[in-house]
Every structure is written in C-alpha cells, then in structure tokens.
Chains A and B, each alone.
Chain A
Amino acid sequence: MFCYRLSTGTGCRAWIAAVATVLLLAGCALPAMPVVNMDEPAIAPSFRVGLVTDIGRINDRSFNQSAWEGVLAAAETLGLTEGEGFKFIETTDPKDYADNLGQFINNGYDVIVSVGYVLGDATIEASLENPDIHFIGVDQFQVQSLPNLAGLVFREDQAGFLAGMLAAGLSRTGTIAAVLGADLIPPVVAFGEGFALGARYVNPEIEVMATYHPGDLSIAFNDPEWGAATARQALDQKADVVFGGGGNTGNGAIQEVATDPGAGTSVFCIGVDTDQWYTVPAVRPCLVSSAMELKTAGVDELIVVGPELQELLAVKAAFDEGTLETGYDQ
C-alpha cells in the first residue's frame, strides 16, 4: 500500500511516492526501506512536532487535514500530547510562511511539517539555517537533497491516470469531464493531465473536457459555485463522469453531479485527495471512487523515522561511497 525510497545520490531527491486509489495501486517496485523498530521509540520526552498549514484550515477536508491527521497518528505512536508535544499554526497570508515556520524553530521543535508546495522555498531556507531540526515538506519538490529535509511527493499523474481509466470505462456517452483548481499548482495539473491520458488509454476516441478555475489562487480552490455551474455545463454537454480535482471547487462540481436525477445510474463522479465517501457525504449518490493521496500515512511514518533519518541517510551515503560495507560478500 505504501512504498518509498530514500536516496542521497547527486541530483536525486529524497522522495517518497505513494499513490493509491481505492481500486488500484500504482506500480511501485522500489526497494523497501530498513524497518525502524517502533516498539520502543527511542525518543526523548521533550520531543516536539509542529505543523504549518498552507493557506486554509487544519480541518479543510483536504491536504492540510490529511497531513495533520498524520501528525496525530504519529503523536499517538510517540505518546505526545497536543499543545506540549505537538501543535499547528494555520497560515492566512502567503507572506507569513517563513514567520510561521520560525515560531516552531525559535521554540526548539524537533520535527516541523510544512504542508503545500508553495511553502517549498521557505522550508528549504529554514532547513538550511537550522540543520538540527528535521523538516518534512508535504507536496514539495527538492531539486537538491538536504540531510534534514524530506519531501513527501506523490505521483498525482498516476492517481489521475487511474481515475481517468475508471471514468472512461464507466462512460456510455464517450464524454467525460474534469473540473480542476488552479493550473498554477503542479499537483493539480498532474491530476488533470493524468486523468486525460488515463481515459485515452482505455478509449482513444473519448472526449475529455478538462477545465481549470479562471480566478486567482486565493479563490481557485474555494469557489464551489463555479465548480457546480461548470459541472452542470459539462453534464449538459453529455459528459457522464465528472472528476472533481481542486479542493472545494472540485467538491462543488461533484456535489452538483450528486444532485442530478441520474446520479449513480447514468452519471457518476470521482473525488480527490481523501476518500470523499467519508469526507464529503453529500456526494455519495454519484461517487464511484476517489483518487487518494496517502498523505496521512506518509507524514506519520516520516515523523516517526524523522530523528533516525539523518543516520539512515549517512549510512546510505557511506554505502554509496564505498566507505562502509554490509559485510556480505558476494
């Protein structure tokens, strides 16, 4: 269900790819990582975890919430209490990313989770300035790898591809639609393009209507009215499967599909990010699947191995350089 790889080779990212839809797993054939003994977490009682959200709320039923649930799960494993052991800061202004990270840095937190790709630069800067603190960047690409920073990156194109295959298989009209957030956010584009490619993989003739929200970033993911109207427009245009990929804008789209008289019999919808059967109950009449990212599990495991990460990476680097041998001689 969840596979990842750690590496420090030059030009190589420390990355973790984890994709799953409810139906299928992406083809992961990567070496498993050494198992950390979790029975006795060798962690000092003062161990503290902080999380900085992207613009939005901790319970946004989307990526911030998924990441926070990862922190909660890790905190349970580690026996931390909220407030002392772990807490979050919600970002309301893009100018505040660095300052919000700074709150946890100044207070000597051990692991800091920053959520969202737009926090990438601030996180890299902070991890360079604070080599003793471990950073986890959710949805953040790193061109160059840093020993104390782990980017949690998902293959949205693969999840979108599978959703597209499913949609093309379900469609009877030969027309499907994707209602997406801003095309300036890479994961959203990856979802959309993957969706179209997956659909054409099943049915090269299929017509895929994909459209991105026209507004700026502050509203592109928070405009359910536009999402609903656009989904309606797509349904009127004979689309019978709608993929909603863009926060609340996408949720608006699939909620509109759910209110269609043919919901669940002739028209269907596919959700995104979380299993929306649970997170957006209003869409149950039409929902067939959700293109999920297992952010919760990713964040959870990264926090638990966080303190060990540096050591593991050092060993890995030593293997690569040949200065360390396992002792196994072929």
Chain B
Amino acid sequence: MASFTQSTARFTAGLSLLLLTGAFLVEYAPFADIQAIRMLFGARVLNFALCAAIPLILGALGGILCERSGIVNIGIEGMMLAGAFAAFVAKTATNHWALGPSLLLGTCATLLTGAAMGLLHALFCLRFGMHQLISGTALILLSMGISATFFDRDAVAVGKFAPWPVPLLSEWPVIGPLLFNKPPITYVALLAVAVVGFALAHTRWGLRTRAIGEHPRAADTAGVAVLRLRYLNTTLGGALAGLGGGYLVLEAVGQFQEGMTAGRGFIALAAVIFGNWHPVGALGASLLFGYAQAIQNELLLAQATILPRHFISMIPYLVTVIAVSGLVGRVRAPGSLGQSYLRETEV
C-alpha cells in the first residue's frame, strides 16, 4: 500500500513542480519570448487548470472519504449537482441581502445538501442494504430529476465570490497571483486536501477510517463503531462533494444550469481511483486533467493546429488514459470496498 501511495504522491509532487518551474521560466528568463513555453506555462493556462481542477478536487475528496470507509460512491455527480442546485436556490432567495451573507448562506446550503445526499447514500447502503452502485446511480438520477423539475428558470442569482487576496503572500511573484489571490472556495479545496490527507494518515479518526475500510470485522473487534463511522464519513464526503457543485455556482459562474456538473463527478471518480484513494494523489489527478484541458483550450484558441478540433479536444481524456496506464499503474482499492458489513448479532 505504501509504495502505491508514494507513487501517486510522487506524481502529484512532480506535476506541481513542473508547472511551477514552468511558470517561473515564463516570468523571468529569456524563455519568456518562446511562444511554446508561454503556451505551456503561461499564467492563463495555469489559472484555467486550477479553476477546472477545483470541483474535481472537492468531488474526489468526497469520494475518498466514502470509499476509504468501504462504501463505493459513483454518485459524486449527483452530490455535486444537488450542491450546485441548493447553492443557487439559497443565493436567489437571498438576493436582496448583502452579497457576503447571501453567499455564505449559499455555501451553508450547499454543504448541508451535500451532507444530506451523503447521509441518504449511507442510509440506503447501510440501513436498507441497497447495492452501493444502485444507491450511487439513484443519487445521480434523483438529483438530475429533482433539480430539473424544480429549477426556476426565471431566477437570477446576483453576484458571486470575488478573489480574496491573502496579505503578503499574494505579493509574491508568480505564486502570489496564481495561488494566493483566489476566491475562498479555492482555498478551502486546497486546504481540504492537506487536512484530509493529514487526518487520514495521522489521527485516530484516520486510523479508524482506514481500518473500517480495509477490514471492518477486525476494526469492530477492536472496538470501532463501524457503522457509525461509515455514516459520519459518507455524510462528510457528501458535504465536500456538494461544495464542489457549489463552487460552480457560487464561484465559477454565478448561475445554475440543468446538468451543469456536465460529467465532472465522473471525472472526479476517475481522480479518486487514479490517485489511489489518497487526497494528494487525487489532487495530482485533478490538476493533470485540468491542465490537459487548459492546453487543449489554448491550442484551440490559438488555432495553432491543422488537426480537426475534435482530435485536439481528445487530449485531456487520452492524457488521462495514458497517465493511468503508464505512470501510475496498478492501484489498490480499500479491502472491503463495496461489501456490506453486518455484525454477527445483526445477521
């Protein structure tokens, strides 16, 4: 397990280092005049990559919390969509408030709705013994159907999160504008990677979570309340995934649209597996996907290619397939993933 985790963590570190080095090159050295370098590492490319990665990171973290506890979550897309819809409803209902409180309420709504979706997933899987894939599918269909049915298409949300520059840090060259002059949910997402990564590895909660995911019976014997922890983690995961949807409404766009998650939940699911169920690995996977998308857009915007557009647009997907088969290789799912767990007394 350790070596697998290391390989994805190394991948993330390598990718981040490469991008940052590139960014510095563009800023300082004579390299700035080389168009290819600007195209690959210009501020706009890296900004786009980060923007595109944030919802994936949050969705993937949500997935990781569920799956490390042993519950499959293919419903990330549904949790994100529900979060996005809730954010929009709360924001439009409080348009007349000052912008700050209104956005805060939107954030709370998105977290709570995501958490409710997570709890529903846990209830379906744990209380009613539903097949975990079915429950995930049901979450997606349910939030698609309900958000489409109740979406008031005449409502307009006014305003969205503006960048919050971090004092001092945002003055740093290159890194400052790239990482420390962002709207709040971006900070939350990046912090959450660190927090969840640390907590999983170094806290009692993390140890127990890994235990119930790998070997619930042993954990139960050791006195861990398996089901209760699974409920808790799935609910927390739902809240994070919901925030990924809220990001789209409150920070990226400012409006809601039916099906606006547009498959991002599935890309996030891929990032969970790609990152070997580890937050840092998922961060790398999300960044890679966002970056590939940015490069693809850059090529299309510059019209610097004779290939049909469709083949350029395949880049993010092909890069992911190649990366997952070449760079990362075999990943290992948590031991009890997808199996329902019943104590002997309950059977």
Q: Which residues on A are within 8 Å of B, measured CB to CB? A: 57, 59-61, 177, 183, 209-212, 214-215, 218-219, 222-230, 232-234, 236-237, 248, 251-252, 255-256, 259, 280-282
On chain B, the residues within 8 Å of A251 by CB distance are: 255
- Contact of B298 with A by CB under 8 A: yes
Stretch with Cβ within 8 A of A (4 or more), from B19-27, B134-142, B195-203, B256-264: B256-264
Expressed in whole angstroms, the Cα–Cα distance for A227 and B51 within the complex equals 12
Q: Which positions 216-264 of chain B face chain A at CB distance < 8 Å?
A: 248, 252-255, 257-260, 262-263
Q: Which residue in chain A gives the minimum CB-CB distance to B263?
A: A219
Whether A224 and B258, one on each chain, are in contact in the complex, defined by CB atoms closer than 8 angstroms, is: no
Interface string of B34-60 (1 = CB under 8 A from A): 000000001111011001100100000
CA distance A282 to B48 in the complex (A): 22
List the B side residues contacting A214 at CB < 8 Å: 296, 300, 309, 313
Residues of A within 8 A of B248 (CB): 225
Q: Known: A211-B300, A224-B260. Is A255-B254 also a contact (CB below 8 A)?
A: yes
Once the chains bind, are A219 and B262 in contact (CB under 8 Å)? yes
Contact B44–A236 (Cβ < 8 Å): yes
Which residues of A sit under 8 angstroms from B52, Cβ to Cβ? 229
- 4 more A-B residue pairs beyond the given contacts A223-B260, A259-B162, A282-B157, with a C-beta to C-beta distance below 8 A: A219-B262, A222-B257, A222-B258, A236-B44
21 contacting pairs across A/B (C-beta < 8 A): A177-B301, A214-B296, A214-B313, A219-B259, A219-B262, A219-B263, A222-B257, A222-B258, A222-B259, A223-B260, A224-B260, A225-B55, A225-B252, A229-B51, A229-B252, A229-B297, A230-B48, A232-B48, A233-B298, A234-B301, A248-B260
Task: Name the residue on A nearest B301 (C-beta).
Answer: A209
Kindly report which residue of chain B lies nearest to residue A256, judged by CB atoms: B253
Cβ of B305 under 8 Å from chain A: no
| Most chain A CB atoms below 10 A, which of B154, B297, B309, B313 | B297
CA distance A234 to B294 in the complex (A): 11
* B158 interface hit (Cβ, 8 Å): yes
Within 8 A of A (CB), among B262-315: 262-263, 294, 296-298, 300-303, 309, 313
Number of chain B residues close to chain A: CB under 8 A: 37
A171 to B313, CA, bound (A): 28
**CB closest residue in chain A, given B247:** A225
B153 at the interface (CB under 8 A from A): yes
- Minimum Cβ distance to chain A for residue B292 (Å): 11
Q: Which residues of A contact B47 (CB under 8 A)?
A: 232-233, 236
Instruction: Report Cα–Cα, A59/B44, bound state, in Å.
Output: 35
Within 8 A of A (CB), among B139-185: 153-154, 156-158, 160, 162
Q: Tell me whether B257 and A232 are in contact (CB under 8 A).
A: no
The CA-CA distance from A229 to B48 in the complex, in Å, is 6
Chain B residues with CB below 8 A from A60, complex form: 153
In the complex where A219-B262, A225-B248 touch, is A255 in contact with B300 (Cβ < 8 A)?
no
Q: A279 to nearest B CB, angstroms?
A: 10
Would B153 and A259 count as touching, CB distance under 8 A?
no
CA distance A177 to B260 in the complex (A): 23
B297 touching A223 by the CB < 8 A rule? no
Closest 6 pairs (CB-CB, A-B): A236-B44, A214-B313, A219-B262, A224-B253, A209-B301, A211-B300
Q: Is the CB of A233 within 8 A of B253?
A: no
Main SS at interface, chain A? helix
Select from chain B the residue with minimum beta-carbon distance to A56: B258
In the assembled complex, which residues on chain B have CB atoms less than 8 Å from the CB atom of A255?
A: 253-255
| Contact indicator A236/B254 (Cβ below 8 Å) | no
Interface residue from A59, A229, A252 paired with B255 (Cβ < 8 Å):
A252
Residue of B52, B255, B257, B297 with most chain A CB atoms under a 10 A cut-off: B257
Counting chain A CB atoms within 10 Å of each CB, the highest count among B48, B162, B262, B294 belongs to B262
Partner of B156, one of A177, A210, A282: A282
Q: Which residues of B contact A232 (CB under 8 A)?
A: 44, 47-48, 51
Question: In the complex, which residue of chain A has the Cβ closest to the Cβ of B294?
Answer: A233
A259 CA / B153 CA spacing, docked (Å): 21
A59 contacts B153, C-beta separation under 8 Å: yes
* Residue numbers in A under 8 Å from B294 (CB-CB): 233
CB-CB under 8 A from A57, the residues of chain B are: 153, 258
User: Which residues of A lie under 8 Å from residue B296 when comparing CB positions?
Assistant: 214
Q: Nearest residue in A to B45 (C-beta to C-beta)?
A: A233
Question: Could you tell me if A248 and B303 are in contact, using CB atoms closer than 8 angstroms?
Answer: no
- A286 shortest CB reach to chain B, Å: 13
Given A232-B48, A237-B44, A212 and B309 touching (CB < 8 A)? yes
Q: Is the CB of A233 within 8 A of B252?
A: no
Which B residue sits closest to A213, measured CB to CB? B313
Residue of B157, B260, B301 with highest tally of chain A CB at under 10 A: B301
Chain A nearest CB from B154 CB (Å) reads 6
- Docked Cα-Cα span, A280 to B248, in Å, equals 18
| Chain A residues closer than 8 Å to B153, beta-carbon distance | 57, 59-61
Other-chain contact of A233, B263, B301, B303, B313 (Cβ < 8 Å): B301
Bound Cα distance A133, B8 (Å) = 64
A282-B158 in contact (CB<8A): yes
> Which residue among A57, A61, A177, A226 has the maximum number of chain B CB atoms within 10 Å of its CB?
A226
Report whether B257 and A248 are in contact in the complex, using a CB–CB cutoff of 8 Å.
yes
Q: Contacts A212-B300, A233-B298: A224 and B44 contacting too (C-beta < 8 A)? A: no
CB < 8 Å: which of A219, A233, A248 contacts B297?
A: A233
**Of all chain A residues, which has the CB nearest B316?**
A214
Query: B303 touching A209 by the CB < 8 A rule?
Result: yes
**Cβ-neighbour of A211 out of B158, B252, B297 (below 8 A):** B297
Distance (whole angstroms) from the CB of A2 to the closest CB of chain B: 27
Task: Please give the distance in Å from A208's CB to the nearest CB on chain B.
Answer: 9
